[in-house]
Structure 1
């Protein structure tokens, strides 16, 4: 893969070929089945090949296609195990890797944005990228003052690519939907499209990262690299080593998984409360596990800190997470069906034209809020699959009721981030004291008279 494919006809052709390939593989599978091969073997082979082509294509295209793949990858826990197996390896690869941008292109962007003497800003610059993402790639370097830095360079034409990919993906969202049972893919793609201009603006990203770095400076649990320099299409931040969260998901010990999960939950709820911003891209590639601060690191996972990267997508929440979420969660856990329903109606989760049974709404919510009911909750792929299946089954009361609920625009990003984070916790298989974090950071979860 050389340059980011920018011609709409090229990118559209790659994406449009996917459903045709799926159909062809299905026909091939039927043919082999008639020839006597077991149906289970055929299905497994088709799923493996389909996964390889789907995520290879998404990764090569970068842009919106890869961004969609990354967003979907955190929901891998919701897939039935017989499907998740073939997909899991491809999904994990997509979280952290993509074909690199040619060196000549990187140098051209740096020269255009930092000036002809851009090399003088660095004591060293590694041409081989350290990481690649949906709209840019990261190079390791040494700033002129001796600091190790990460240099994020945006792909030329990334904006056009993002919009073209997401437009095309939305056209066959129904085909991609079965990747995650119970999830409507089209609103996810629409919301990503609405955020394109923000994510392309490295000035906004630098502002959000500075805000987090300032608030979490010296924090015992969360580390955010400082911004060193920013210009259009180039963002320079302090380098951060650490164990990628994807490695903990793949090979971590129970102690490591639990600590990583606790830190992830803590950051999800404390971030908005402390900064007024919600980090809105919680896939594993954006997190690292670091040793504890000097003097506090005992070598065990118990002293780990969570390193957070990529602030290109944030939700601006000046008052923190909406108090409605905490109050609704608190009342649901105490079985207050009528007050919960009234609050949902007032916030627009139930449209004025719809009338629902408050007890039925509470029954719908209780399994979802189960992690907040107990002192410590074990997040598992099995639990996530059960939730997805309950909501996806057209015959279930949960499915019928869920179709009548509405998600107000102000809650779209919060909803996606929360679901994504839960997906990662289930991938980790972490036991998390979620209630502790809710009591500490979620407005409305603790009653005012308590």
Structure 2
């Protein structure tokens, strides 16, 4: 990696590489048309183009890191929604983006540590491994042994990551108009601004360290969730206790039924408990940030992306879920209009709105819901069918920017559950941590009212 003076040149190169994605995909589509004219089957062409697109996607996004890699990591979660015949080439390539990227040289790592921890930083470690153990969007992680003998994870930010991230986000914003025809009422610019603001916060590792300290303090000694303690932090480096376990991606790929169910249950518990217990929500839900420990706990890392929820999940959202669960369609549309989710009220039929939202509350109508790729693919296919009822209804909806990160967590978490093929007690977890989502507006009783749920299995 070059010096800071190289950033403008590298930025131009990054911009050019990012621009190759839509151009490359368009070129492959044109090539596919030529092959169809030449008599090659549609299935053969689709598989071939998907494999080549996946290869380019990883090569470009993985090299760029920054905002582009963040996009790739988000995409890696939602491969569960892709049809099986298309998903396989992407699955491996996108999963790599959860924890792999070309490493920075050891001398660059040492220079960052000199600036952030002082030139005598080696005295604080018994040992430090120059080879990174994992790479992320704006930094990489090294294993070390702290002076008191504890194994530690040392997260070091790439030099120039701030300029690179902002450059990537600016470039990604240029893709926003591509989504406008599918969501004409949506404030794409507002959503991109919110994503940019949250991403920029991740550049200051002191914010991440403070978030992680809050989670670690609250979950200390918890029998189901583990968060490593922070040992030291600076703007570009954070040192925390080392956590070893089975990466969630491995559980997804080859875990037993019991292992995948346990992982899914812990994941639900973490995302719904945190706002109530910590006043924060971890907003980077991709498998690279979770692992299963040997004692059955879910280990959680990377707290750079978190939003404050001092009063728990926003009441507008909990009320909308409650009204949807109990099929109060007119009240639901009125509330969604007031909350900014509906842009064309005069064109939105309450029955159509309820039908559109029904899949989102389906897991709340049963004690244990089986999250599957097939279920998610069916929903994605229904909403993306331009001739279908759901697609027409979606044109009356928007996503208020202030709720972007909450929806990112809820949808990302469900996507991971589908990757796990998990059978999870989704409703019971919500009854434990957000019971107002299930209370009947008339009777005050919870939907599917039953005795208090048993605690999570040890």
- Answer yes or no: same fold by TM over 0.5: yes
Select between 1-10 and 232-241 the one with higher mean Cα deviation. 1-10
After TM superposition, list the pairs within 5 Å mapping 1:212-223 onto structure 2: 212-223=215-226
Contact 1:322–1:443 (8 Å) recurs in 2: no
Superposed, 1:137-286 pairs within 5 Å as: 137-173=140-176, 189-286=192-289
Alpha-carbon distance between aligned partners in 2 of 1:100 and 1:2, rounded to the nearest angstrom: 13
Q: Is the 8 A contact 2:187 2:399 kept in 1?
A: no
Count of residue pairs brought into register by the alignment: 435
SS across alignment from 1:149: strand
Which piece of structure 1 moves more, 343-352 or 149-158?
343-352
1:309-366 Cα deviation digits (max 9, x unpaired): 0000101111111123233222322222222223223322224864532222212211
Aligned counterparts of 1:117 and 1:259: Cα–Cα separation in 2? 44
Within the candidate set 307, 314, 337, 1:315 is matched to 307
Q: Give the aligned partner of residue 448 of structure 2.
A: none
Quote the Cα distance in structure 1 between the aligned partners of 2:121 and 2:438: 53
Structure 1 residue 387, shift from structure 2 partner:
1.2
Instruction: Determine if the alignment matches structure 1 residue 120 to structure 2 residue 123.
Output: yes
C-alpha contact 1:246 1:285 (8 A) present in aligned 2: yes
Shift of 1:388: 1.2
Q: Which residue of 1 aligns with 2:29?
A: 26
Contact 1:380 1:426 in 2 (8 A): yes
Corresponding residue SS for 1:98: coil
Match of 1:339 among 323, 331, 335: 331
Indicate whether 1:394 and 2:397 are aligned.
Answer: no
Distance verdict in 2 for CA 1:387–1:177, change over 3 Å? farther
Q: Find out whether 1:11 has 2:3 as its counterpart.
A: no
| Residue pairs, 1:78-117, within 5 angstroms | 78-117=81-120
Note the C-alpha offset of 1:197.
2.3
SS across alignment from 2:68: helix
- Equivalent of 1:46, from 43, 46, 49? 49
Q: Could you tell me whether the CA contact under 8 Å between 1:159 and 1:200 is conserved in 2?
A: yes
**Which segment drifts farther, 304-313 or 22-31?**
22-31
Q: Which of the numbers 54, 59, 64 marks the counterpart of 2:62?
A: 59
CA drift of 1:422 comes to 0.7
Offset, 1:217: 0.5
* CA gap 1:96/1:405 in 2 versus in 1, 3 angstroms: same
Shift of 1:190: 4.3
Would the aligned equivalents of 1:71 and 1:283 in 2 still touch at CA under 8 Å?
yes
Whole-Å Cα distance in 2 between the matches of residues 16 and 94 of structure 1?
19
Distance 1:9 1:439, change over 3 A: same
Q: 1:85 to 1:243 in 2, by over 3 A?
A: same
1:75 is paired with a residue of what secondary structure? helix
TM-score w.r.t. the length of structure 1 is 0.91
**1:431 paired residue among 411, 423, 434:** 423
Match of 1:348 among 340, 344, 356: 340
Question: Which residue does the alignment assign to 1:134?
Answer: 137
Distance 2:92 2:179 in 1: 18
1:95-131 Cα deviation digits (max 9, x unpaired): 1211101111000000111111111010000000010
CA distance in 2, matches of 1:3, 1:34: 50
Change (3 A) 1:174 1:3: farther
Change (3 A) 1:172 1:356: closer
SS in 2 for 1:240: coil
Q: Which 10-residue stretch deviates more, 186-195 or 36-45?
A: 186-195
Correspondence 1:374 to 2:366: yes
Instruction: Say if 1:151 and 1:236, in contact at 8 Å, map to a contact too.
Output: yes
Q: Distance in 2 between matches of 1:370 and 1:25?
A: 38
Q: CA deviation at 1:189?
A: 4.7
Matched with 2:40 is 37
CA distance in structure 2 between the partners assigned to 1:184 and 1:86 by the alignment: 32
Report Cα offsets for 1:181-232 as digits up to 9, x if no partner: xx99877654332223210011111111000000000001000000000012
Equivalent residue of 1:369, what SS?
helix
User: Is 1:71 the equivalent of 2:63?
Assistant: no
- Aligned partners of 1:325 and 1:444 also within 8 Å: no
Q: Output the CA distance in 1 between the equivalents of 2:82 and 2:217.
A: 39
More divergent stretch after superposition (333-342 vs 239-248): 333-342
Q: TM-score of the superposition, structure 2-length normalised?
A: 0.90
2:319 is aligned, of 317, 327, 341, to: 327
Name the stretch that deviates more: 325-334 or 66-75. 325-334
User: Matched residues in 2 for 1:409 and 1:21: separation?
Assistant: 31
Distance 1:397 1:3, change over 3 A: farther
Q: 1:38 to 1:437 in 2, by over 3 A?
A: same
SS at match of 1:444: helix
Q: Is the 8 A contact 1:2 1:102 kept in 2?
A: no
Task: Give the aligned partner of residue 290 of structure 2.
Answer: 287
